[in-house]
Amino acid sequence: MSIIFIDKIAIKIYNKIINFFKGTDILKRKRIIIYVITVIISALYLFFGHTYTANGIKVFSTTKITKTEEINNNITEETGIKAEPDKRIYFESTALSRENKGEKIKGVQLIDGYMSGISKPVNKGDTVYLYYSNEGDFSGSWIFADYDRLGKLIWLAFIFFAALILFGRMQGFNTIVSLSLTCAGVVWVFIPAVITCKNVYFWAVTTCVFTIVMTLIIVYGINKKSIAAALGCFSGLFTAGFITVIMDRIMKLSGYLSEDHYYLTRLGINIRAVIFGAIIIGAVGAIMDISISISSALFEVREKAESITPSDIIKSGFNIGRDILGTMSNTLILAYIGSSLSVILVLIIYSASPLELLNRERVIVELLQSLVGIIAILATIPLTSVICGLFYGGKNESMYLLLHGSDD
């Protein structure tokens, strides 16, 4: 009896295994497995990448103010500009960051007399960010960096996520996951790599490759459509990186776009490499957008056609790319102009002539970023179309059987 009972259990287990790998749900289950594996690998990349690049750096700490003390310093310089006295506000706070949560921290807020109208003094109950200084008169001290404003955006972020899920359903959820991992890759791995003076070129490219592969797998899965889009993205990414390196040498960029870049060099950071990273990371979003648009559109064309040649698919890809190109170019240009509008206004006001304005390195880099992004898109369109032609061309078996039936 016991042998018969064991046989029945074995048969049930066997039938369950067969049913798991059988039927129409097999593709869904495979995709779920791939999805989970991708998320796990992404999490491991973020963990080990951060562990290696951060190298134990201590940059920011979030604290809550518990006590303040204000000291005024009289200005002795005669500048002709009306200013309030310099202020040093010493305060005690309680750390909120995970690394030193609950620790009592003494910090200082430095308010320049000329900036008194902009910098608001801290008060008891404020939540602020501090950074640890290793230089100057305040070496070994925690210094006020800024107020915590992120919490105020939480409700807006919830509305954004809810709208994504409501409209996109599962695709919307996948978008949130991929977007979160992308932001974590930049903030948690790439930025620490820059701060700790790792090879910025390598980590910029690694961040872009991680973003492309992770996003396409999570949002679209592993199939011909996502593989063709990924190959198109890599071609656009290579084009953007190659042009940036060449133009950097031709134009002899120094990397000193503002005073902030000067301070970065004092920390040993390669600011020319930072510009390279900013350009290709900024371009990869547009490259992904256009490559998946072309790949998805051509895949639908392939699915609806009984038979289509690779050359027909390539021609269709070129036509679709031309329609996308105009608006995508405007998107890139307007995005860069909008992000640096205040800087452009200041430069225009204090420039003697348009030529002087256009020759400023800060403006040159913005123009370079825009042009590299557009040229990368121009390279992505034909290459993605050709790849899709090779992947999708030929007779559509499912459509052929639907129209003509089986010979059996």
Report the SS3 class of residue 7. helix
pLDDT of residue 74: 42
**Residue 145: other Cβ atoms inside 10 A:** 15
What is the pLDDT averaged over residues 250-267? Answer: 72
Burial call 214-249: b when 16+ CB within 10 Å, e when fewer? bbbbbbbbebebbbbbbbbbbbbbebbbebbeebbe
Q: Let me know if residue 221 belongs to a domain.
A: yes
Q: How confident is the model at residue 52 (pLDDT cuts 50, 70, 90)?
A: confident
At residue 166's C-alpha, the angle toward residues 164 and 170, to 5°, is 75
133 to 93, 108, 143, 145, 187: CA distances (angstroms): 17, 11, 7, 11, 21
Q: How far apart are CA 265 and CA 191, in angstroms?
A: 15
Tell me: the pLDDT tens digits for 269-293?
Answer: 888 888 899 889 988 988 998 899 8
DSSP assignment string, 219-237 = HH-SSHHHHHHHHHHHHHH
Mean pLDDT of 345-357: 70
- Of 146-155, 248-257, 265-274, 289-298, which range is least confident? 146-155
Residue 235 sits in the same domain as residue 185: yes
Does residue 188 have a pLDDT over 80?
yes
Q: Do 342 and 251 reside in the same domain of the chain?
A: yes
Identify the three-state secondary structure at position 66: strand
314 and 170 inside one domain: yes
Statement to judge: residues 81 and 200 lie in one domain: no
- Judge if 232 and 123 occupy the same domain: no
Query: Do 222 and 117 belong together in one domain?
Result: no
Whether 41 is in a domain gets the answer no
pLDDT on residue 76:
38
Pairwise CA distance, residues 103 & 126, whole Å: 16
Contact 83, 113 (CB under 8 A): yes
CA-CA distance, 347 to 311, in Å (whole number)? 49
Q: Does 375 lie in the same domain as 352?
A: yes
Question: Is 44's pLDDT higher than 90?
Answer: yes
| pTM (two decimals) | 0.71
Q: Do 124 and 187 sit in the same domain of this protein? A: no
What's the pLDDT score for residue 234? Answer: 93
Conformation bin of residue 23: beta by default, left when phi > 0, alpha when psi is -120 to 50: left
Residue ranges making up the domain that contains 372? 152-404
Residue 211's closest CA among 153, 277, 275?
Answer: 277
